[in-house]
Structure 1
Amino acid sequence: MAVEFRLLGSIEAYVDERPLDIGPARQRSLLAALLADPNRPVSADQLVERVWGDHAPHRARETLRTYLSRLRQALAVTGEVSIGRRAGGYVLTLDPGIVDLHHFHQLLAMARSTGDGTAAMDLFDQALALWRGEPFAQLDTPWSRAARTEAENERTRAELDRTDLLLRHGRHHELPAALWAQTAERPLDERLAGQLMLALYRNGRQADALDRYQDIRTRLAEELGADPSPPLQRLHQQILTADPALAPPTITPAATSSPIPRQLPAPPQLFTGRAHELRALTAALDEPAAPGDRMPISAIGGTGGIGKTWLALHWAHQQAERFPDGQLYVNLRGFAPGTQPVSPTTAVRGFLDALGVVPTAIPADPDAQAALYRSLVAGKRMLVVLDNAASSSQVIPLLPGDSTCAVLITSRNKLTSLVVTHGARLILLDVLGHTEARDLLMRHLGADRLATEPEVAHDLLRCCGGLPLALGIVAARVAAHPGLPLSMFAQELVDHSTRLDALDAGEADLSVRAVFSWSYEALETDAADLLGLLSLVPGPDISLSAAASLAALPLARAGAMLRRLDTAHLVQQHLPGRYRMHDLIRAYAAEQAHRSLAEATRVAALRRLVDFYVHTAYAGDRLQQQHREPISLDVPVDGCRPEPLADQAAALSWFEAEHACLLAAHRLADDQRWDTSVWQLAWALRTFHRRRGHGHEDLALWQVGLVAAERLGDLAVQIQAHRFLGSTWSELGRHDDAHHHLEHALALAEHTGDTTAEAHIHMALGWVEKARGATRPAADHLTRAAQLYRTLVNPVWEADALTTAGWFHAEAGRYDEALTECEDALRIYRKHDEPEGEADTLSSLGYIAHHTGRYTAALELYEQARVLFQGLGYSSNEADTLDRLGHTQVALDRPDQARRSWRQALSLYQAQQRDTDAERVQEQLAELDTP
């Protein structure tokens, strides 16, 4: 049984080349702490320090024992690795050679001791190939940082020793590109500078070698106040004088052939879906090309883990026969951890090697190398796959110059400049749909495994959010434990606090957290901070204006940063000016926000966001209902910029777009105990909720709003909360509950002398008593409301009492009284420009006309009311008016018109979840269709 442990990158374990599940991040950290000192006791205190550093939990030793127990169980399958206890601590017993860190040191020792240059080069290459990224990845304690630094220093020494070996064996032509990249990382390394100078000199680039000396000489003086070392000064003098001692050793180039390059990595075995994208890629090839046309270039973009490389390789293998002259492939490592992106010069050099160019025939100048590459592929039918590109500038030097070739690029960034400059086609990947995601999971696990726990399988799919990487990780973990039920894995995923831990198969490229980190670390600090703040937003998405207030940024600056995040596929502009984030990216970004942003910063941002919604919603409500009595708001907090709304139509559109976010902001305000914002948001949404028939949502807001008002001890707000709760309960048919709240509100209003509230409450009680069949009390309440409104000298409110009385009289069959009251109310509403009251009254007049046999007049009145209700966004009353309109159309023997009206009413009732009304209209439609 082959066992392998990896520390030179993410912490991983393998048995017979299959990943071993070694648990969550802290447990893997403990394993790394033991692997660093195999076969030697490590005390419990040392382990705690290595795993947690200065942030050890209160019961660290107990947690440590739990992790040790789990690791023993996980390692038991190896049959050769065990954790024991000795006097000095815990001991991990194993062959050090199966740990990549120790194997790395063994290979280096062998390379440095052998006298065979070829064997030494092979050993150095084997040792350096063990590195997969930053060692001890994801650990951040003083011990891990020290261990990481030690390992990276040894790697640097190994690279320098390997370079010396290449120079001694006349392979200087292989070095400049790689040495330039290393020099960019370590500009003050004098040994590295000397190697680069010698390699450049031997490649005929004496001027470049001398420039490199002057560069490091200047840097040493400015940053360290020192001169170059004597060996580097001697080398500089030798280059100046063209010392024969610097000449390369004589070598005989080996004969080479010119093979057809077939560089594509193996295709993904379980590729699923993406039919539309595959057709788009093929269509780019099939378009007829006139002489001189540009080559087909397709750029696949999407977030990390979305399946860009899988799609590219699947398609490339499907179409391989169309490229008989070969396929070139390079991983440009635009987002690879712990490494710099591959430079175009290095990539071109790799292509020249693949095309069979002997090293001695490769020119030293990078531009000449690129020209040679384009010459070699000119006229050939070749596919060039540029995987994991960081930017357009990294890609453009690698494009062939001939339209006979095709280029396929993948990147986490939208390479939009390629569209402008080279006519590239962007193919942006979204998550898999439910069916495709289920098919992918089923191909991994088998239909029978999913069928045994269908509800659990649904949870797995929901938590993975259609991200192919997440689905693959879940499948890998499940496959590694065939005896465990799916529910065990689902529990980890459903819990938001452990979801990212559950989506970690122990390898860097099989960890959602690690893959997202590569995109995150490529961001500028301000963009990363904005992403962290966006992850805290409670709603399903966010507008540009809201994001600007969240981050306390000018609108233009916020827009630029959101475009940057959208380009990096970390957020998605799914509607114009609105941005959303995948749930898993949100979870990762939230972790980063809690790590990098102080709590005060996070709270202040959310406070600005809630203020944005409160103030914009309030302004929108004032546009919708100008005769409603206002409330007093404090000025917005610093950095909050409420969105200006131009008119009533703009306000209605804003409420529609932001409704889910407003409800989420209300929950956030309640969670934070921002009680004033809690009731003010409920108040500002009241008109919209009434007009749109969102009774249940309004009820929920005011139930919380009442609690907030009681915490504040504000009687005026408590009156409003009880009043609105009563009205909403009445609209939902719960008249006893409505009566309870309204009577409570009336008692408080009378106690505080709030005449306006008294009048409104009497109006509401009139509706409740009428619904309960208490005609006399209903009339008394309306009379009292009218009296109070007259004392307040508010004609619109007085008209409200008139039109309500008119409706009550109309339903009672007292049409003459009803007609007089409604016509008086209509004149007041029109005089004071109150369209909602006008629409209500027109609908009542339509009802009166219908029931007095004036059907044509009723049609006209109902239609006027419907148009007004529709313009106000008052879908609740629009539905009622359409229902009544249908009855009038039936009376006029116009069944087709009635059918259309009732179908529209039915659709609105269903959208508002008014089930009783919907059933009634369905019965009316059925009767209409019955002969």
Structure 2
Amino acid sequence: MFRVLGPLEVHSPGGDRVELGARKPTALLTTLLLQANAWVSAERLIAAIWPERDAPQSADRNLKTYVWRIRKVLPGRVESRHGAYRIVVAKGELDTDVFRDLVAQADREHGQSAVDIYTRALVLWRGTPFEEVTTDEAFAAASRLGELRRHAQESLARSLIASGRRAEAITLLRGLTADEPLRESTWASLVLALHADGRRAEALACYQQARTVLVDELGVEPGAELAAAQQQVLTGAPVLTAVNTLPRDLPDFVGRDRELPALLAACTDRRLVLVTGMAGVGKTALAVHVAHRLAESYPDGRLFVSLRDNGVPVGAAEALRRLLVSLGVAPRDVPDALADRVARWRAALSGRRVLVVLDDAEDESEVLPLLPGGEGCGVVVTGNVAIDGAAIVPLKLMPDRDATDLFTAIAGPRDPSAVLDVVHSCGNLPLAIRVAAARLIQRPLWTVSDLADRLRDPHGRDEELHRNGRSVRARFEPAYHRLPPAHRRLFDLLASAPERIDAPTAAALAHVRRPEAARMLDRLADEHLLTESAPGRFTMHPLVRDLARVTVSPEVVPLRGAS
């Protein structure tokens, strides 16, 4: 183990300390560790060993002697080529690498888990990194590590608050503000820690102390983060402490090689992103998967709220109540009026970097009150809703390869041709594939071919594709019931239509004019009950067609009108 986060120390695999001897070999080893596993020129090494004066004429010979001494105590570690040397360091052997990895891991956690990992990272520090070397390169590396250390300390404080250990967080932050009184982010964290501990007067006094330091030393007023912390105290808004209410990420998430990077990029470039697509196509799964991936970009929290309870809209007011409670607002303190809830919600997120996932939206009136007011937050909305200024990531059916991979990820390796039959009977719809794979697991005596046979028949398919007492087919019913009566009538008639549908076909079925039929088909496509395969040409997903067969009744007759 090589320890450079303080005076250089080297320990053997058994834990014994390796004695390095004189200062110059130590400076040589430190310089090599600055660029572990990379070649370092002899000129740079000589400049690091003799920084205050010109190197002696014997510098090259002395350098070889120092390399020999290091090789003697660290056999097999230092390699050489003409005019350069490098030290070989395995993963986990250099404390700077371990520190960076632990901080990155802690950034993805929250609560007590984050506290434990940040603590493990910070105890690696024993002093100034690379202190044996005074080169610009060493100073720059030490500065970068110091900045990461301060990030870890402030993040540890926030995690302590989230774990209910506010007194420890306040003690830590007071020490940090004393060490670096011009660092506004630390003052802001201390103000919020005092506020979270119910010490409002002390929090405001802390803000005034920070303001005095900044004005006296730099001649500037507090920046946005510190000002937002003061405002949060004044308004009584709750302290946001890296809350994570995301559902678990699916362990068998597969595919989406195009949509996944598109959504990640959209969340980076825009603050509002819509994930659209037909019911069961995996909008929620993708949004949650991406939200977990974006933990480092949104360190202050990741929140999830469903805008539907069993298909029934919860309403913006109730969604805001749930979000505020998840941030720590006592239920009795949630305002009654929608406008007051919106104001409280936006004040709580001011100056923070939080990602909010709004699931299953159908109308912009459900979404607009839930949008944060600041620029640091991101919002991912799933559902087929139009919102001005939002980036859109459309989600399509899975290609065969991804669909079969999903099935086998759940059900295990199976006969490939039979698996392909199953996913085709499911119309390559992820939800249906998941339900079918689970059904096979529930029936261990079945083969995949048995399942495929059951799914070929539309009536049998509906019986097999049930989850929690609800059929996959039923997921399309809300879209069907949103249609006007004339559109529902056309949808019913399409149950017996050819595979490919266009305006002339629809007009003949419904006995309406072609322009009207074209508009009706567009509306069905907007509701994802049809898929536009080419301009003006549509197809109906097999499970959607199953719904049309069920909704059609003997009373359905062609609509009157001219053809």
Q: CA deviation at 1:532?
A: 1.2
User: Are the counterparts in 2 of residues 500 and 588 from structure 1 also a CA contact under 8 Å?
Assistant: no
User: Are the counterparts in 1 of residues 240 and 300 from structure 2 also a CA contact under 8 Å?
Assistant: no
Alignment of 1:193-232 (within 5 A): none
User: Are the counterparts in 2 of residues 549 and 639 from structure 1 also a CA contact under 8 Å?
Assistant: no
From 480, 489, 507, the counterpart of 2:469: 507
* Partner Cα separation in structure 1 for residue 306 and residue 395 of structure 2: 19
From 249, 272, 288, the counterpart of 1:267: 249
* Partner Cα separation in structure 1 for residue 435 and residue 337 of structure 2: 44
* Partner Cα separation in structure 2 for residue 489 and residue 505 of structure 1: 16
From 280, 287, 290, the counterpart of 1:305: 280
Q: Which one has the bigger helix percentage?
A: 1
Q: CA deviation at 1:522?
A: 3.2
**Secondary structure of 2:428's partner?**
coil
Alignment of 1:852-931 (within 5 A): none
**Secondary structure of 2:445's partner?**
coil
- Give the residue type in structure 2 aligned to 1:285: C
1:617-659 Cα deviation digits (max 9, x unpaired): xxxxxxxxxxxxxxxxxxxxx7463xxxxxxxxxxxxxxxxxx
* Partner Cα separation in structure 2 for residue 587 and residue 512 of structure 1: 10
Q: CA deviation at 1:271?
A: 0.9
- Give the residue type in structure 2 aligned to 1:268: L
From 558, 571, 574, the counterpart of 2:533: 574
1:363/1:490 CA distance change after superposition, 3 Å? closer
- Give the residue type in structure 1 aligned to 2:408: M
User: Are the counterparts in 1 of residues 304 and 358 from structure 2 also a CA contact under 8 Å?
Assistant: yes
Alignment of 1:598 onto 2:555: yes
Q: CA deviation at 1:257?
A: 7.1
User: Are the counterparts in 2 of residues 570 and 581 from structure 1 also a CA contact under 8 Å?
Assistant: yes
Q: Which residue of 2 aligns with 1:278?
A: 260
* Partner Cα separation in structure 2 for residue 457 and residue 358 of structure 1: 50
Q: Which residue of 1 aligns with 2:326?
A: 354
* Partner Cα separation in structure 1 for residue 331 and residue 435 of structure 2: 42
**Secondary structure of 1:284's partner?**
helix
* Partner Cα separation in structure 1 for residue 319 and residue 428 of structure 2: 33
Q: Which residue of 2 aligns with 1:739?
A: none
* Structure of higher RCO (CA pairs closer than 8 Å, 6+ residues apart): 2
Q: CA deviation at 1:506?
A: 5.0
* Partner Cα separation in structure 2 for residue 533 and residue 571 of structure 1: 13
**Secondary structure of 1:322's partner?**
coil
* Partner Cα separation in structure 2 for residue 322 and residue 257 of structure 1: 19
Q: CA deviation at 1:266?
A: 1.0
1:358/1:258 CA distance change after superposition, 3 Å? farther
**Secondary structure of 1:383's partner?**
strand
* Partner Cα separation in structure 2 for residue 375 and residue 407 of structure 1: 16
Q: Which residue of 1 aligns with 2:480?
A: 520
Q: Which residue of 1 aligns with 2:298?
A: 323
1:186-223 Cα deviation digits (max 9, x unpaired): xxxxxxxxxxxxxxxxxxxxxxxxxxxxxxxxxxxxxx
From 409, 427, 439, the counterpart of 1:465: 427
* Partner Cα separation in structure 1 for residue 529 and residue 335 of structure 2: 41
User: Are the counterparts in 2 of residues 441 and 475 from structure 1 also a CA contact under 8 Å?
Assistant: yes
**Secondary structure of 1:303's partner?**
coil
Q: CA deviation at 1:263?
A: 1.0
From 387, 393, 413, the counterpart of 1:427: 393
Alignment of 1:383 onto 2:349: no
Q: CA deviation at 1:363?
A: 3.2
Q: Which residue of 1 aligns with 2:494?
A: 534
1:477/1:363 CA distance change after superposition, 3 Å? closer
User: Are the counterparts in 2 of residues 532 and 592 from structure 1 also a CA contact under 8 Å?
Assistant: yes
* Partner Cα separation in structure 2 for residue 525 and residue 347 of structure 1: 31
* Partner Cα separation in structure 1 for residue 459 and residue 328 of structure 2: 53
* Partner Cα separation in structure 2 for residue 579 and residue 457 of structure 1: 27
User: Are the counterparts in 1 of residues 276 and 394 from structure 2 also a CA contact under 8 Å?
Assistant: yes
- Give the residue type in structure 2 aligned to 1:598: E
- Give the residue type in structure 2 aligned to 1:272: V
1:19-63 Cα deviation digits (max 9, x unpaired): xxxxxxxxxxxxxxxxxxxxxxxxxxxxxxxxxxxxxxxxxxxxx
From 332, 339, 342, the counterpart of 1:367: 339
Q: Which residue of 1 aligns with 2:375?
A: 403
Q: For this pair of structures, how many residues does the alignment match?
A: 327
**Secondary structure of 1:298's partner?**
strand
Q: CA deviation at 1:326?
A: 0.3
* Partner Cα separation in structure 2 for residue 311 and residue 322 of structure 1: 17
Q: Which residue of 1 aligns with 2:544?
A: 585
* Partner Cα separation in structure 2 for residue 554 and residue 436 of structure 1: 41
Percent identical pairs in the alignment equals: 37
TM-score by length of 1: 0.34
* Partner Cα separation in structure 1 for residue 287 and residue 316 of structure 2: 20
* Partner Cα separation in structure 2 for residue 459 and residue 364 of structure 1: 54
From 435, 439, 455, the counterpart of 2:405: 439
Q: Which residue of 1 aligns with 2:512?
A: 553
**Secondary structure of 1:523's partner?**
coil
* Partner Cα separation in structure 2 for residue 500 and residue 432 of structure 1: 20
**Secondary structure of 1:574's partner?**
strand
**Secondary structure of 1:328's partner?**
strand
Report the RMSD for the aligned CA atoms in angstroms: 2.3
User: Are the counterparts in 1 of residues 440 and 448 from structure 2 also a CA contact under 8 Å?
Assistant: yes
Structure 2 gap ranges (5+): 1-237
* Partner Cα separation in structure 2 for residue 387 and residue 354 of structure 1: 16
1:498-540 Cα deviation digits (max 9, x unpaired): 22222224532xx2122222332333332222211122102x2
**Secondary structure of 1:533's partner?**
helix
* Partner Cα separation in structure 1 for residue 530 and residue 404 of structure 2: 24
- Give the residue type in structure 1 aligned to 2:396: D
Q: Which residue of 2 aligns with 1:455?
A: 417
Q: Which one has the bigger strand percentage?
A: 2
User: Are the counterparts in 1 of residues 240 and 349 from structure 2 also a CA contact under 8 Å?
Assistant: no
Q: CA deviation at 1:467?
A: 0.5
1:321/1:351 CA distance change after superposition, 3 Å? same
User: Are the counterparts in 1 of residues 503 and 515 from structure 2 also a CA contact under 8 Å?
Assistant: no
Q: CA deviation at 1:565?
A: 1.6
* Partner Cα separation in structure 2 for residue 360 and residue 330 of structure 1: 20
* Partner Cα separation in structure 2 for residue 392 and residue 554 of structure 1: 32
User: Are the counterparts in 1 of residues 267 and 273 from structure 2 also a CA contact under 8 Å?
Assistant: no
Q: Which residue of 1 aligns with 2:95?
A: none
* Partner Cα separation in structure 1 for residue 355 and residue 261 of structure 2: 17
1:331/1:286 CA distance change after superposition, 3 Å? closer
Q: Which residue of 1 aligns with 2:438?
A: 476
- Give the residue type in structure 2 aligned to 1:431: L
